[in-house]
Chain A
């Protein structure tokens, strides 16, 4: 599925099945994006990495 990057309007490929809270990266502007809606699929900029994130 191809969606539009909310930052640069470039095409963003999402692997099926698309899931809520899924993260993706825009190949054009490298923005990290999050799927915030499924019907219709909606992308927003993902939150900044926080200090306590990680493995």
Chain B
């Protein structure tokens, strides 16, 4: 069997678990550090192999932490005929909150009320119409960075003035969401293809419940009220190995975002031996190969 490529420039707890799962299953693999990845167009390698020889890798598992490198690595390998998990179109959708929201809207997935404005000035008007408190988030970025909860127009204007002063035009697009009064926690559901691997509650003192900010994870029972919107969200963005974040709204779970590069240390610690996320990821990659 040709090896499975594991793309990663940082080998964290998650990647070590994935390597171990591959080894347990006897799957040949190659760790590809994207910092040392280049490809000649019109030629073959990497991933493509020699002309007529077919792709070098049976499949590629993309664990690259840099969004740009992850996106283009999947794009290049796909062009070389390598099945990638996740695909570049999924990475592109999940890496942009507006694109994610548009796909969730198209699929009718329940989500918090969301607005977008194409200039910071209009962002203040959109916040007013949405009603305070609102969360102003950057379109791209992770771990809750640069997301601001604002409770009145003055605070919104201050945040938006800062955004207007930033050099990137992307920062001038304003993405806003209602701040749902959640019970001090959110829910992370991990999906691998058509399989729901499991769910955790993530508790935090602040309004941001990202594991990267020290949120505490505990097992969450998988109910149909949770599985159904999580699977619909995963399918809406194109499927793959995904972390679907939900919050408990007054009318039921609302999908907040879908992550394409799932960190699962907190999740794995919470579930112990009951769930093996790395093995579920490997199983899905082998299905794609």
Contacts and interface: CB of A to CB of B under 8 A. Distances in A.
Given A52-B68, A55-B263, A19 B15 contact: yes
A34 B12 CA distance: 10
From B11, B16, B143, B261, residue with most partner A Cβ within 10 Å: B11
Q: Is the interface of A mostly helix, strand, loop or mixed?
A: loop
A23 B10 contact: yes
Interface in A39-55: 46, 50-55
B231 to A, nearest CB: 20
A19 B66 contact: no
Interface in A1-46: 15, 19-23, 34-35, 46
A23 B14 CA distance: 11
B65 interface: yes
Contacts of B142: 53-55
Interface in B246-265: 259, 261-263
A1 to B, nearest CB: 14
Contact of A54 (B8, B9, B11, B65): B65
Given A52-B141, A54-B212, A19 B16 contact: yes
B10 A34 contact: yes
Given A20-B33, A21-B33, A55 B10 contact: no
A53 B65 CA distance: 5
Nearest to A21: B11
A15 B261 CA distance: 23
